[in-house]
Structure 1
Amino acid sequence: MASAAPTLWDTLPIPTLDRPFGVQLWPYFSKAFEVVAGYPADDFRFVTGKTPMSTLKETLIFLTIYYSVIFGGREFMRDREPFKMRSLFLVHNFYLTAISGILLALFVEQLLPTVVRHGIFYAICDADGGWTQPLVVLYYLNYLTKYLELLDTVFLFLKKKPLTFLHCYHHGATAFLCYTQLIGSTAVSWVVITLNLTVHVVMYWYYFQSARGIRIWWKEWITRLQIIQFIIDLGFVYFAAYTYFTSTYFRWMPNAGQCAGEEFAAFAGIGTLTSYLVLFISFYFATYKKDHKAPSTRKTLRRMSQAPLPDHHHTVASASATGMKANGVSTRSRKA
């Protein structure tokens, strides 16, 4: 008996639950992955000690190099003219916008069917929901992009822009945070990552347009989105951690079940994301609401988020010239 002819629904790229963008993205991604890695994405396995950048030693060495380069670079640029690098800056922000958008689309394709069919708890706490092989591929690639984002700071010192505490801390801590969640197999990771990718699409697109000389009115909304992101992040992370610890150690307490992940990863996520929320709120009020704050309040907020990292030569020179202690200079952080 002859098979039925394909229907219009089968032939047109109409969005469905399993194909939210109308076409299946994963096969195309897997082929592109194979071109680079030499094997399809479906064959990828994250193995500590074998996969590149999969050990604590590798991560710490890379971050040590990062901080050495940026602080050494600041000293190198001290008596030199700033580089313009407009074209390179445009390329940098464009490819980070594109990478963030592609990863976000792939995450949506993988997660939407799971969330709709099995519920949010299954997606954030069950290993079969939030820690599937395709998701591990995406987690790992997202982790690697954090090292690409470290180039943000390289552009800052080459252009002789101030290196703020918020910027330098956030970049290094995020790379380390992604590493802890990878080796800790935390199923809730996708919540934090997808929200971060969403913000990065907006943020890097803003800086791309800004580098082109286009003025965009919604810059303040980037920081607002980041604050909203961290609030949502912490809601999910605290819930997952509570579920894990109560189901493991305090079974007499009410909980929704068990949650996948390692304890050290839970503490790393809670500590890092909480610090981000405090620092970004401080940055927001010091930057955008400073006209409504008392001088003492603004000074405290600047110390927490905006003040440039200590520059020994500048401080000593200022003190010698004025006979007074040098005050921190208020600047705006490029990267939030």
Structure 2
Amino acid sequence: MASLIQLSSPDFWLTRACDLFGVNKQEWSYISGQTKLATWSEVLMGTGVYLLIVFGGKAVMKNQKPFEMAAFWRFHNLLLAIMSLFLLLLFAEQLIPNLFNNGLFWSVCHRDAWNTKLELLYYINYLIKWYEFLDTFLLVLKKKSTPFLHVYHHSMTMVLCFTQLEGTTSVSWVPVTINLFVHVIMYYYYYLTALGIRVWWKKLVTTTQIVQFVIDLGFVYFCSYHVFIHRFYPNWPNYGACRGDDPAAIFGCLLLSSYLLLFVKFFFDTYNKRSKKTNPIRSKNI
């Protein structure tokens, strides 16, 4: 049995996770253009194939009966909830000592806040985004709705994770860990509904997603400001340099901003329509 000292080590669970999958965390590193799925051609091809399967699949399924995949749908959602929780705990194991010892600004901006251990976790999170494409494929086979927000979010989040790996943005852990937390809740919700359980907190899931993007943007805009200001306008108010390349910073700001706008629109479109249906007299007066 591991001692309390071992359990308190910041690498205890990461080491065991690496051993489980046969990864040497001391030697592993993300190498642009060499690591699997680490080229723009693979990313763009993957996105294109995803969109082709989604829209082509919908055309093929138009005159077909929907597939019954209740058992696999439950397994898929439970698996993603568990994977998200496990990866979130691995991130916490690495990040909590950094935050406690070095503070928040160091943890989101300092060059040393990006290290090979966190890089491995970022890469695992990136690979999970590829697996999450299966969400949409299953919906197509079940002839369920695949709105623009769903397809846009799934395809572009994979691209976002790739750009941040390429740009080595130290702030990456903020949107990644919050997203993992949201996914634990969201996929567990889908798992419960797949069991036929009526869940009262569906609206809370969407609200949590919106709060996620508000927090993300606060951090991302703050760090992007320091990326550019420290380099081009060092006399302007700033706390110091922030790690990350320009394209990654710009793309992250723009994409997360679009997510926030689209999720807010989805929230009002979804829940305003429902309130009007349940209370047509009141909604008419409003």
TM tier, smaller: over 0.9
- 1:127 corresponds in structure 2 to 111
Any idea what SS the aligned residue of 2:187 has?
helix
- 5+ residue gaps, structure 1, are 1-9, 299-336
Shift in CA distance, 12/47, structure 1 to aligned 2, threshold 3 Å: closer
TM-score (norm 1): 0.79
* Alignment of structure 1 residues 186-265 onto 2, 5 Å: 186-265=169-248
Structure 1 residue corresponding to 2:95, chosen from 88, 91, 111: 111
| Aligned-partner Cα distance in 1 for 2:7–2:206 | 32
Asked if 1:27 is matched to 2:15, the reply is yes
- 1:266 corresponds in structure 2 to 249
Shift of 1:187: 0.4
Any idea what SS the aligned residue of 2:170 has?
coil
| Aligned-partner Cα distance in 2 for 1:265–1:40 | 28
- 5+ residue gaps, structure 2, are none
The CA RMSD measured in Å over matched residues stands at 1.9
Structure 1 residue corresponding to 2:126, chosen from 143, 148, 158: 143
Any idea what SS the aligned residue of 1:289 has?
helix
Which one has the bigger helix percentage?
A: 2
Asked if 1:83 is matched to 2:67, the reply is yes
Asked if 1:52 is matched to 2:36, the reply is yes
| Aligned-partner Cα distance in 2 for 1:261–1:12 | 37
| Aligned-partner Cα distance in 2 for 1:118–1:252 | 25
Shift of 1:12: 4.4
| Aligned-partner Cα distance in 2 for 1:127–1:95 | 34
Asked whether the 8 Å contact 1:125–1:240 carries over to 2, the reply is: yes
Shift of 1:98: 1.1
- 2:267 corresponds in structure 1 to 284
Aligned pairs, number: 277
Shift in CA distance, 121/89, structure 1 to aligned 2, threshold 3 Å: same
Structure 1 residue corresponding to 2:143, chosen from 155, 160, 165: 160
Task: Encode CA deviations 1:2-52: one digit per residue, 9 max, x unaligned.
Answer: xxxxxxxx9448975x56xxx921221120131xxxx42332111112101
| Aligned-partner Cα distance in 1 for 2:95–2:157 | 23
Asked whether the 8 Å contact 1:33–1:40 carries over to 2, the reply is: no
Asked whether the 8 Å contact 1:30–1:42 carries over to 2, the reply is: no
- 1:41 corresponds in structure 2 to 25
TM-score (norm 2): 0.93
- Greater CA drift, 42-51 or 140-149: 42-51
- 1:169 corresponds in structure 2 to 152
Any idea what SS the aligned residue of 1:83 has?
coil
| Aligned-partner Cα distance in 2 for 1:201–1:42 | 29
Shift of 1:289: 2.7
Q: Could you say which structure has the greater relative contact order, defined with CA pairs below 8 angstroms and 6 or more residues apart?
A: 2
Amino acid at match of 2:182: V
- Greater CA drift, 24-33 or 163-172: 24-33
- 1:332 corresponds in structure 2 to none
Task: Encode CA deviations 1:222-260: one digit per residue, 9 max, x unaligned.
Answer: 100000000000000000001111100011210000000
Shift in CA distance, 283/114, structure 1 to aligned 2, threshold 3 Å: same
Q: Which aligned segments of 4 or more residues in structure 1 are displaced greater than 2 angstroms?
A: 10-16, 289-293
Asked whether the 8 Å contact 1:107–1:194 carries over to 2, the reply is: yes
Determine what percentage of the aligned residue pairs are the same residue. Answer: 43
Amino acid at match of 2:102: H
Shift of 1:163: 1.9
Asked whether the 8 Å contact 1:83–1:159 carries over to 2, the reply is: yes
